Structure 1
Amino acid sequence: MNKPVIYMDQTVNEGLRRNIRSANLQLMLKAIKELQVGYIDVVVSDWEKSGLRSCNMESYFFRGNIRPNMHELYKAYHLGFDKISIFCPHVSRKSNSKKLYPLLEAATRLNLDIFLHIENAAQISAVDIDFYLKLLVKFNIKSFIYGDKEGRLDPFQIYEALAYMAKVIPCSLEFHGHNMYGMATANALAAIRAGVGRIATAIGGVGERGHAAMEEVLLGSRHLLKKTVHIDASLASNCAHILACMGLKVPVNKAIIGTGIFTHESGLHVDGVVKDPSLYEAFSPEEVGLIRKLVIGKHSGSVSLRVKLQQMNIQATDEEIRALLPKIRKLAVLQKGNLGEEQIRKIYDTELARD
């Protein structure tokens, strides 16, 4: 069954970590809500400092992240969180039992929805899995979150581990990977392929250790895994807006949302794009709200120049193209950059006037 994947947002957490202004946090929250994420994860201690404690928790589906201690648990409760995610590394059955049992009992008495996040889940042995299974049932834990805090796992390891966990876990299974070695998006897609329905992502992959970029996982799910995925046509601009709230700019060559990823210059390349965009583009720019751009520079050939002139409503002859091209290339080299339409038109008009 092709169930939609639920994305657990980590972007606001990064905004809190950066101590951005409350007004910017509010703007981020509104924009992220439009992306239809599941829960918005926030570190409770950082949230307390943000000045947004009166924010309506239900309208944004916040989940408070805490360490396994009573002080943080009661802080989350008094701040209004009704969902808590307990971050805990796997050390040993004895050690984790001592930390988790009293905390889970207290959280249950407070009627909180509990999510258990094991940050180094790959370290759990086959023997210790039984310990966690009993915890999940006894305390009615909503999700078991399989963490890869160090980002050391690869997609093959993730798929194998989570395909097994999906069969034995008696609750929802989540994957929360980091991007220390550039594998977060690939690992997130492997987790989805293994049957995991909840994935931690962040816009642009932001985070202290990095996360799977939400926009990359969305497009990867649709085009690589053939999942039914809703993607808003304003995805690129929404992502840029959210990152701008943190004072960040989207690199022009950023996968999926960079404004320059559909920019083409060389001649044969442009000819191929004009005839069949799928030869060079994995998805259409319109899918995420971007546009295809043809730029003219020192590498441009006659084909790209002809297409560019046609876009400018100029029907140039072969002879005119041959005469224009050396001059355009020379100017691009001199100014160390591509030419604007006004420059191209001026060169064309000058060349035409000579004739």
Structure 2
Amino acid sequence: MSKLTWIDQTLNAAVRRQFTSDQLAEVASLLSRLGIGQAGICMVDWQRYRPDLSGAQQYLELCGMLDISVCELEWVEQAGIKHVVVSASVACQADFTVKLEAVIAEAGRRGLQVTLLLEDFASLAVPELLAVVPKISSYPVAAVIYGDKAGTGHSFTTFDQITALNNSLNCPVGIQAGNAYGLATGNTLAAMKAGVRLVVTAVAGIDGFAPWEEALMVAKQLAGMDVEIPPNLAAGCQQVLSALRLTIPENKAIIGPAIFSHESGLHVDGVNKDPWLYEPFAPELVGLSRQLIIGKHSGTTALKTKFAAWGIRLEDAETRRLLANVRALAVRQKTAISDDELRRLYLSS
């Protein structure tokens, strides 16, 4: 498995909100357009109202997700799903010696492909982790996912543990990193560096998973992986969240509409000279554009740059007069000023 594969949790957010079958198909279609091909469905959420998933399956490959404590494999079959992800804790010996063995055997009889999602790896030292490997290796599974739902791991231990798993298992290893402490993206990057190519995410980090768009960009920009960035990544994520009746925060990393907005005179001057000083990637890469915000922190460079975009060349003296009026207005109204307000100030000065 050399190419990144996502198990997306965004569609399950719609299932948990009990969207209709048509609405689920719409969300699946939007995810597919972003290049996401697989989605996980929590079968406990699904069985509460049992929506028809056939429309969503036209766009995405679905896998049913079940905890070992509530492992009703018939739900997976009834939903028309052929792949089950079974989660269990490595700290619970009974899960391995009794429950997990029985579930995997039953899944085999039903013709279901099985992936293991093993939680609590983050709490183990590498020698303890390797002691679990013989138990895992005995099972006929498609992949093993390193689970850290609690988000307690950090990138150094994650890298070491994933490396050890990769070197010891004959099946692909994945990562599901929780974001309780804001480390999901960093831990996912560490796992990618250690060779993981199966990643559990959700658009904009819905429900505490690693944000898909962040994982995608770190794979491209920091891990140097050959991944394709959708031409309108930010807009596509906005469409997904709108379908879920959610909004993107203005400053959301990668896709927030205001992340390429600059007001400070120092920032504007730096961006004009070299965008890489303040921008980790070109805004066009995700379908956004740079914005100059004019307010109380603006300087003469920002004003000249703004007016130059409108085809107006400001002289130094008039720039200073205009800047004084700009700052006074911004302080009075306690917010940045609009383009219309800026034009009126220019015409009246």
TM (norm. structure 2) is 0.93
**198-207 or 30-39: bigger deviation:** 30-39
Partner SS, residue 104 of structure 1: helix
Q: Which residue of 2 aligns with 1:216?
A: 214
Alpha-carbon spacing, 1:98–1:334, altered in 2? closer, same or farther (3 Å): same
| Counterpart-to-counterpart distance in 2, 1:259 and 1:285 | 10
Q: Alpha-carbon deviation of 1:225?
A: 1.4
Q: Alpha-carbon deviation of 1:337?
A: 1.3
Corresponding letter in the other structure for 2:133: I
Q: Which residue of 1 aligns with 2:6?
A: 7
Q: Alpha-carbon deviation of 1:214?
A: 0.8
Alignment of 1:50-69 (within 5 A): 51-55=51-55, 57=57, 59-68=59-68
Q: Which residue of 1 aligns with 2:224?
A: 226
Q: 2:325 aligns with which of 308, 324, 327?
A: 327
| Counterpart-to-counterpart distance in 1, 2:4 and 2:287 | 22
Corresponding letter in the other structure for 1:81: I
| Counterpart-to-counterpart distance in 1, 2:29 and 2:102 | 36
Q: Alpha-carbon deviation of 1:163?
A: 0.5
Q: Which residue of 2 aligns with 1:340?
A: 338
| Counterpart-to-counterpart distance in 2, 1:283 and 1:50 | 43
Q: Which residue of 1 aligns with 2:30?
A: 31
**14-23 or 238-247: bigger deviation:** 14-23
Q: Does 1:120 align with 2:120?
A: yes
Q: Alpha-carbon deviation of 1:22?
A: 4.1
Q: 2:135 aligns with which of 121, 131, 134?
A: 131
Q: Alpha-carbon deviation of 1:197?
A: 0.9
Residues 265 and 297, structure 1, Cα contact 8 Å, conserved in 2? yes
Corresponding letter in the other structure for 2:313: Q
Residues 16 and 46, structure 2, Cα contact 8 Å, conserved in 1? no
| Counterpart-to-counterpart distance in 2, 1:71 and 1:151 | 24
Corresponding letter in the other structure for 2:88: C
Q: Which residue of 1 aligns with 2:203?
A: 203
Alpha-carbon spacing, 1:161–1:349, altered in 2? closer, same or farther (3 Å): same
Q: Which residue of 2 aligns with 1:44?
A: 43
Deviation digits for residues 127-178 of structure 1, max 9, x if unmatched? 332111112xxxx210111111211100001000000100111111111111
Alpha-carbon spacing, 1:102–1:185, altered in 2? closer, same or farther (3 Å): same
Q: Alpha-carbon deviation of 1:68?
A: 2.7
Residues 232 and 287, structure 2, Cα contact 8 Å, conserved in 1? yes
Q: Which residue of 2 aligns with 1:256?
A: 254
| Counterpart-to-counterpart distance in 2, 1:297 and 1:128 | 58
Deviation digits for residues 42-75 of structure 1, max 9, x if unmatched? 0123224252244363641000011236861012
Deviation digits for residues 280-320 of structure 1, max 9, x if unmatched? 10001000000100111111111111111111221121121
Alpha-carbon spacing, 1:350–1:12, altered in 2? closer, same or farther (3 Å): same
Q: Which residue of 2 aligns with 1:178?
A: 178
Deviation digits for residues 327-351 of structure 1, max 9, x if unmatched? 1111111111111222111111112
Partner SS, residue 72 of structure 2: helix
Corresponding letter in the other structure for 1:109: R
Deviation digits for residues 6-52 of structure 1, max 9, x if unmatched? 11101111222233444432221101111222420001232242522
Q: Does 1:304 align with 2:308?
A: no
**120-129 or 186-195: bigger deviation:** 120-129
Corresponding letter in the other structure for 1:348: Y
Alpha-carbon spacing, 1:58–1:173, altered in 2? closer, same or farther (3 Å): farther
Corresponding letter in the other structure for 2:115: F
| Counterpart-to-counterpart distance in 2, 1:175 and 1:181 | 16
Q: Does 1:156 align with 2:156?
A: yes
Q: 1:283 aligns with which of 278, 281, 284?
A: 281
Corresponding letter in the other structure for 1:287: L
Q: Alpha-carbon deviation of 1:268?
A: 2.4
| Counterpart-to-counterpart distance in 1, 2:95 and 2:217 | 41
Alpha-carbon spacing, 1:94–1:332, altered in 2? closer, same or farther (3 Å): closer
| Counterpart-to-counterpart distance in 2, 1:95 and 1:32 | 34
| Counterpart-to-counterpart distance in 1, 2:273 and 2:305 | 11
| Counterpart-to-counterpart distance in 1, 2:54 and 2:3 | 31
Corresponding letter in the other structure for 1:259: P
How many residue pairs get matched? 344
Alpha-carbon spacing, 1:53–1:271, altered in 2? closer, same or farther (3 Å): closer
Partner SS, residue 86 of structure 1: strand
Q: Structure 2: any 5+ residue segments left out of the alignment?
A: none
Corresponding letter in the other structure for 1:36: G
Partner SS, residue 101 of structure 1: helix
| Counterpart-to-counterpart distance in 1, 2:59 and 2:13 | 20
Alpha-carbon spacing, 1:58–1:172, altered in 2? closer, same or farther (3 Å): farther
Residues 120 and 147, structure 2, Cα contact 8 Å, conserved in 1? yes
Corresponding letter in the other structure for 1:68: I
Partner SS, residue 254 of structure 1: coil
Deviation digits for residues 103-122 of structure 1, max 9, x if unmatched? 11111111111111112234
Corresponding letter in the other structure for 2:203: I
Corresponding letter in the other structure for 1:245: A
| Counterpart-to-counterpart distance in 2, 1:335 and 1:318 | 26
Corresponding letter in the other structure for 1:133: S
Q: Alpha-carbon deviation of 1:95?
A: 4.3
